Amino acid sequence: MTTSTPPAVALDGIWKRFPGVIANHDVTLSVDRGTIHAIVGENGAGKSTLMKTLYGMHRPDAGTVAVNGTDMHMKSPADAIAAGIGMVHQHFMLADNFSVLENIILGSEPAHRGVIDAASARTDLTELMRTVGVTLDLDTPVSELGVGERQRVEILKVLYRGADIVILDEPTAVLVPEEVDELFATLRRLVNDGTTVIFISHKLDEVLQVSDAITVMRQGTTVASVAPADIDRAGLAELMVGSELPTPGGRTTDIGETERLTVANLSVVGADGRLVVEDATFAVRAGEIVGIAGVEGNGQYELCTAIIGLRPATGTVIVDGDDISTASVRDRHDAGVAYIPFDRHREALMLNSSLWENGLLGREASPELSTGPLVNIGAARSSTRDIIDRFGVLTPNETVPAFALSGGNQQKLVVGRSMITEPAVLIAAHPTRGIDVGAQAAVWAELRDARDAGCAILLVSADLDELIGLSDTLLVMFDGRIAAEVDPDDVSPAILGGYMTGATTGAAS
């Protein structure tokens, strides 16, 4: 690259206001062509807003956007796509009931005399997958894909539309380490071919490992641009949050005798008639965190949703001595089972409703929040304010709609809602997904406190350090089965990875 090449992206003096919030102020960002450029910063720092502005979804209140040296005045994503910019969002935007092929060509179908030419799209996509080094069955419905695969579909969709500037908003938040490696290999191939990649991440180790440059955002503006060679994890965190990095730890040995959650011979049949959970048997005792490691799609989701009653299953589920195997979702909730869902958008939030209505979800009939058949709005609002305070949800107040929160702050609200009721059993799926390093420590402390107070916690996470650091007992799910139990005090992420991919089998401890 010669010095005369203009940057792929140059943002200058960008401002963006929302009601009661200045999301971006005086932001400057320069991204060189053919590089991987990371953007880091606390939840609510303005990262997604800035990228949505670059992608034409927001019009900046002030400032300029230049692409390859040309000033742009984008009015919509269509303008951004025409300028060669593609974006994979923090929350995926695929249509579940359509195939991979349909999802990719949706909106850019090659037409032949007004008829969609699926055959030529198929040829082009097969060639594209070969170049990028990605394999997908184009005819599979998206609903049957795991997160890693969904993400590949999103990336292919962006490339299929001809993007040579690709924005990825927290692409690795949902991936296990092996999938992260595959993704970065793909990105590296793209960049070597001249594509520019901008990605947002809270995982500072991988940011340092894969990026060519890092820009740090804090409270709505860019505070530093650094080369990964010139900084370490602690230095990055300090630029972001002004404090030292937390680490998970402090495992307790104070596990009670009583089983609060007992799962016996639980099996779940999937859509294709195959067993997606096979004969799962385990218990979580009072004051215990049982972790479940696994690559997404190995039955963890089905196991958890069966335990909370969202999905038919055979076998037994007992909570505090009560057999709830055939109870409704509501009755299981009333028996003390709380759930932090896998996907905050699809399972946990009504995005157009206020925070207090979301804070109330699932708890409408609880005595503290209702007066007879009616919801006590004052109590519901004040309970949501408690969640906002205790879990550090960044928001002007509890009346704003959930979509106005940043991704990590939505997650804090969901976590807070399930924990503030002090449940007997907490099914926690990816509790810190999308949460910044500082707030992550706060959620870990909440989970440990709940455990120490006697809660039985079933923890599913893609973050192996989190699993190893928090779990008292650690199980591995592979191909629908509890395939191994490992000792969290004596297992490395690498060894755990071996069990998760089925490379290692059997009980280790």
Ligand X SMILES: Nc1ncnc2c1ncn2[C@@H]1O[C@H](COP(=O)(O)OP(=O)(O)OP(=O)(O)O)[C@@H](O)[C@H]1O
Q: Does 405 bind ligand X (CB under 6 A)?
A: yes
Which residues partner with 456 through β-bridges? Answer: 425
Query: Using an 8 Å Cβ cutoff, are 410 and 349 in contact?
Result: yes
Examine residue 406 and tell whether it contacts ligand X (CB under 6 A): yes
Q: Does 38 bind ligand X (CB under 6 A)?
A: no
Nearer to Mg ion, 407 or 480 (CB): 407
Burial class (CB in 10 A: 0-12, 13-18, 19+), 321: exposed
CB of 90 to Mg ion, least distance (A): 5
Please report whether residue 305 would count as binding ligand X according to CB under 6 A.
Answer: no
Q: How far is the CB of 417 from ligand X (least distance, A)?
A: 17
Residue 44 binds: one of ligand X, Mg ion, none (C-beta under 5 to 8 A by kind): ligand X
Cα separations (Å) of 228 from 98, 192, 217, 288, 306? 40, 18, 15, 39, 44
Per CB under 6 A, 41 contacts ligand X: yes
CB 474 within 8 A of CB 289: no
Structure-token pair, residue 455 = 């809660």
Separation CA 114–CA 292 (nearest Å): 50
To Mg ion, the closest distance from the beta carbon of 48 in angstroms equals 3
B/e letters for 433-463, b = 16+ CB within 10 Å, e = fewer, are: bbbbbbbbbbbbebbbebbeebbbbbbbbbb
Residues 6+ apart with CB under 8 A from 123: none
User: What residues contact residue 173 under an 8 Å CB cut-off, 6+ apart?
Assistant: 90, 201, 202, 203, 433, 434
Q: How many CB atoms lie within 10 A of CB 116?
A: 13
Give residue 276's region: left, alpha or beta (phi > 0; psi -120 to 50).
Answer: alpha
**Is 186 among the residues that bind ligand X (CB under 6 A)?**
no
Q: Is 407 in the site for ligand X (CB under 6 A)?
A: yes
Sheet arrangement for strand 473-478? 337-340, 425-429, 456-460, 289-293, 473-478, 481-486
Q: Considering only 38-46, 105-113, 126-134, 372-380, which stretch makes contact with ligand X by CB under 6 A?
A: 38-46
Would you count residue 171 as binding ligand X (CB under 6 A)? Answer: no
* 471 touches ligand X by CB under 6 A: no
145 vs 198 by CB, closer to ligand X: 198
Interacting residue with ligand X among 36, 277, 369, 404 (CB under 6 A): 404
- Residue 49 makes contact with ligand X by CB under 6 A: yes
Decide: is 48 part of the binding site for ligand X (CB under 6 A). yes
Cβ proximity to ligand X, 90 vs 186, nearer residue: 90
Residue 100 engages ligand X in binding (rule: CB under 6 A)? no
Tell me: does residue 363 bind ligand X (CB under 6 A): no
Q: Which does 23 bind (CB under 5 to 8 A by kind): Mg ion, ligand X, none?
A: ligand X
CB of 216 to ligand X, least distance (A): 11
Q: Using CB under 6 A, pick the residue from 5, 18, 133, 328 that binds ligand X.
A: 18
Binding of ligand X by 47 (CB under 6 A): yes
DSSP string, 469-508: HH-SEEEEEETTEEEEEE-GGG--HHHHHHHHTTSS-S--
Distance of CA 334 to the CA centre of its chain: 28
Does position 23 bind ligand X by CB under 6 A? yes
Task: Give the residue among 443, 415, 450, 412 at the shortest CA–CA distance from 284.
Answer: 450
Structure tokens belonging to residue 38: 């990371």
**Per CB under 6 A, which region of 17-25, 105-113, 378-386, 481-489 contacts ligand X?**
17-25
* Per-residue contact string for residues 408-427; x = within reach of ligand X by CB under 6 A: xx------------------
Stretch that binds ligand X, among 102-110, 140-148, 405-413, 461-469 (CB under 6 A): 405-413
348 Cβ neighbours under 8 A, 6+ residues apart: 340, 341, 361, 414
Say whether residue 242 binds ligand X (CB under 6 A).
no
Q: What are phi and psi of 159, to 5 degrees?
A: -70, -35
How far out from the chain centre does Cα 383 lie? 25
Q: How many residues bind ligand X (CB under 6 A)?
A: 22
The site partner of 480 among Mg ion, ligand X, none (C-beta below 5 to 8 Å per kind) is none
Q: Does 56 bind ligand X (CB under 6 A)?
A: no
The rounded distance, in Å, linking the Cα atoms of 261 and 256 is 12
Task: Give the interface with Mg ion as residue ranges (CB under 5 A).
Answer: 48, 90, 406-407
The answer to whether residue 21 forms part of the interface with ligand X (CB under 6 A) is yes
Q: Which stretch binds ligand X (CB under 6 A): 41-49, 285-293, 359-367, 417-425?
A: 41-49
Under the binding rule (CB under 6 A), the answer on residue 45 touching ligand X is yes
Stretch that binds ligand X, among 40-48, 93-101, 273-281, 448-456 (CB under 6 A): 40-48
Q: What's the CA gap between 207 and 236, in Å, rounded?
A: 10
Residue of 211, 237, 257, 203 lying closest to 493 (CA atoms):
203
**Whole-number minimum distance, CB 170 to Mg ion, in Å?**
7
**Which residues contact ligand X by CB under 6 A?**
18, 21, 23, 41, 43-49, 90, 394, 403-409, 434, 436
